[in-house]
A and B are shown apart, each in its own frame.
Chain A
């Protein structure tokens, strides 16, 4: 489990074939687990999204299939799989076929390193933060391929916007993650969780942590292409952006990737700022802390992630959409400078040991 993967000993591992095969088996089992996990997760998330948006808009949402429409997403999934898979005549077929897989694989790869609980983490890479940044860039590639391959002006425009947006907002995401990396002194996600034994970084790193949290919240909404930053899909102007031409199973892959991405970003926020699977502890209150320890870590993780997912949905169904230039202005003129200043302040805080429970 604790696959100590790093470039230096990778070559050694290949020579030790039995160990290597073992690792390979582990990854395969992990992948199967992850695929099952994401299918279930997508069902739950789509249902939650529809219900939450309905209630925010004074509606009821799905009510017919099953109790309170609980089987609606399952029915929709079956429908999507049975639907005709239409390929535009002029499409660049290779890119068109590969794009949904790129998007899905990118999310799968990010899911591998998220520590769901102390026991469940498929690979614990020692460069976790860099890995996450790199792999999420892979998803952008899928989006751009989809837009270009569809040979449709709306798709191409949507893909360009998505690309520009995701690349820009990746900067502030990374800048706010780096704040925590400075505090922890490690890029390994399990280390980051363990370092929050005494307190979660959002208040342990007081002002700097809160600002970094808000920055990450904004930039992850932008990376998810959700309102108020859904220019890439802007239904009113681009019909659906990069996945206009997709239908059936391929469309469902994009859909899946979008929702899993939401889970991953929520999980990242809870891992970095809200203590991951760490129970909630207050200083020296031993009895209280012991009571909190009784709740299993997986529940803590799921609870925190659900709260973050709710916040994402809440934001999506409340805020109006930004214009393209406003979007870019927000990133390059507000968030990025703030991120740098914040990182600088964080460095000072770390050097002077001026944070709580040091």
Chain B
């Protein structure tokens, strides 16, 4: 199908032309049409007689042996390396791009005097699992995982804080020379899981605001760099 007049060096860059629809006689079309129908019948017969091709899972019964695709999108997670450090810089791009406003990123200026993530909050109840947040993240910091057993009876339980550890990004931590310093720094600002406000007045008397209980600025340490802090404490 290709014509070799479009080349760059040895590479043939001519596009493959799609087959033009065959306009032949009625009889020819009748025969070819019949043959292609038979081909379809063959394929469906194959699937009918080969029960191993069945993809349905009998879920609650085969919970132990359940096969679920790696690409199934059910749970948003922050990527961690083996030391438990995060890639997320708190840049807020994922939150801005989420069509449903399901992500809240609360950032702060941290020990390394760089922007770092304080809390990463994901509202699963309004998430459509569209994967946009994962695709737009410039630091490759989040991913979708196939763990789908997340049902709960209360909508408030669908608000996740994804980071238990908050602190400097992996990139900044890697700049520190002494691994012991690094661990110190991580321990220094360990925070508890999310206990923040609940949206849309699910319970009476609770106001709907996303203001963080602790104002972000309070934790900000000015002028001192991470290394200084570490030295002082030693």
Contacts and interface: CB of A to CB of B under 8 A. Distances in A.
Interface string B15-53: 000000000000000100000010011011101100101
15 contacts: A52-B48, A55-B54, A56-B47, A57-B47, A58-B47, A58-B53, A58-B56, A59-B54, A60-B54, A60-B58, A314-B41, A315-B41, A318-B41, A318-B44, A319-B40
Given A63-B58, A319-B37, A56 B30 contact: no
Nearest to B56: A60
B68 interface: no
A63 B59 CA distance: 12
Counting chain A residues whose Cβ lies within 8 A of the other chain, the interface size class is: 10 to 19
Contacts of B54: 55, 58-60
Contacts of A52: 48
B47 A334 contact: no
A18 to B, nearest CB: 55
A58 B37 CA distance: 19
Contacts of A56: 44, 47-48
A251 interface: no
A63 B54 CA distance: 13
B38 to A, nearest CB: 10
Contacts of B44: 56, 314, 317-318
Contact of A55 (B30, B41, B48, B58): B48
Contacts of B37: 318-319
A318 B56 contact: no
Contacts of B45: 314
A213 to B, nearest CB: 14
A272 to B, nearest CB: 22
Interface string A192-230: 000000000000000000000000000000000000000
A59 B40 contact: no
Contact of A334 (B30, B48, B58): B30
A52 B43 CA distance: 14
A58 B58 contact: no
B49 to A, nearest CB: 8
The 8 closest A-B pairs by CB, nearest first: A60-B56, A318-B44, A56-B44, A318-B40, A55-B48, A58-B55, A59-B56, A56-B48
Interface of A: 52, 55-60, 63, 314-315, 317-319, 334
B51 to A, nearest CB: 7
Interface string B198-209: 000000000000
A55 B40 contact: no
A315 B43 CA distance: 12
A319 to B, nearest CB: 6
Given A55-B51, A59-B54, 19 more contacts: A52-B48, A55-B47, A55-B48, A56-B44, A56-B48, A57-B47, A58-B53, A58-B54, A58-B56, A59-B55, A314-B41, A314-B44, A314-B48, A315-B41, A317-B44, A318-B37, A318-B41, A318-B44, A334-B30
Contacts of A318: 37, 40-41, 43-44
B46 to A, nearest CB: 10
Which of A55, A59, A317, A334 counts the most B-chain CB atoms under 10 A from its CB?
A55
Contacts of A317: 44
A60 B41 CA distance: 19
Nearest to B38: A318
A57 B50 CA distance: 11
Nearest to A52: B48
Nearest to B53: A58
A63 B44 CA distance: 21
A90 to B, nearest CB: 39
Nearest to A61: B56
Nearest to A317: B44
A314 B53 CA distance: 17
Nearest to B58: A63
Contacts of B51: 55
B82 to A, nearest CB: 39
Contacts of B41: 314-315, 318
A52 B47 CA distance: 10
A319 B58 CA distance: 28
Contacts of B58: 60, 63
Contacts of A315: 41
Nearest to B26: A334
A57 B46 CA distance: 11
Contacts of B30: 334
Contacts of A55: 47-48, 51, 54
B229 to A, nearest CB: 60
A263 B44 CA distance: 22
Nearest to A55: B48
B61 to A, nearest CB: 10
A336 B201 CA distance: 70
B164 to A, nearest CB: 40
Contacts of A60: 54, 56, 58
Nearest to A57: B47
Contacts of B43: 318
Which of A58, A59, A63, A318 counts the most B-chain CB atoms under 10 A from its CB?
A318
Contacts of A57: 47
A280 to B, nearest CB: 23
Contacts of A59: 54-56
B127 to A, nearest CB: 28
